[in-house]
Amino acid sequence: MRVLKPLYSAGEKLIDRILCVAGAVLFSQAPEFMQQYLQRLGGHLAEARRQLAQFEDIARQAGRTLQELAAQYATNADPTVVGMGRLMSETETRVNALSASEAALRDASVWERPFVFLRHLDSEIASGTAGVFKPAVPTTIEGTLYALMGVVVILVAYHGVLAPLARRLCRGSDTKPKAKLA
């Protein structure tokens, strides 16, 4: 282990720099992921609104509100009609939830956005976004702030946890138990 100590000392600064770059690159992708998520969220919202508008047209043609028509369908003996009423209600609920999420994300400040994003995260949309995510070079103030946060987080983790642990391991291997003289 004594051989590892000089190697570790020589490489520590290089490791530090590599981790800084990795942290900056990794964290700078957060705004881009949120942007792509927001675009995907908007697509889901537009489709849900289109479907809701169709249901509302059907209700209007029947001389009812959507809620009245869904309630009437819910009491029908035919399970298919009951399912259609449930779909109408769920579509309305989905439009409201997606609208609230989109508005919250669009209106959030740079500092609030990650917390708002996590609070309103739709796992299905996030999974779809991750599946087609394309990294981008951050050219915004927000991207730069996230890159700087990445550098800080990685440096704190490295110098606060990993480096002291590695030093302790290197130091611990240098001390061998001394033989007792008889």
pTM above 0.85, yes or no: no
Q: Read off the pLDDT of residues 137-156 as tens digits, 9 standing for 90 and up.
A: 777 888 888 888 888 888 88
- At 24, the amino acid letter reads A
pLDDT bucket at 168, cuts 50 / 70 / 90: confident
The mean pLDDT value of the chain amounts to 86
The distance from CA 68 to its chain's CA centroid, rounded to whole angstroms, is: 38
d(CA 115, CA 30): 12
Residue 64's region, left for phi above 0, alpha for psi from -120 to 50, else beta, is: beta
Q: Read off the pLDDT of residues 93-138 as tens digits, 9 standing for 90 and up.
A: 999 999 999 999 999 998 899 999 999 999 999 999 999 999 887 7
d(CA 84, CA 17): 59
Rounded to 5 degrees, what are φ and ψ at 70?
A: -65, -40
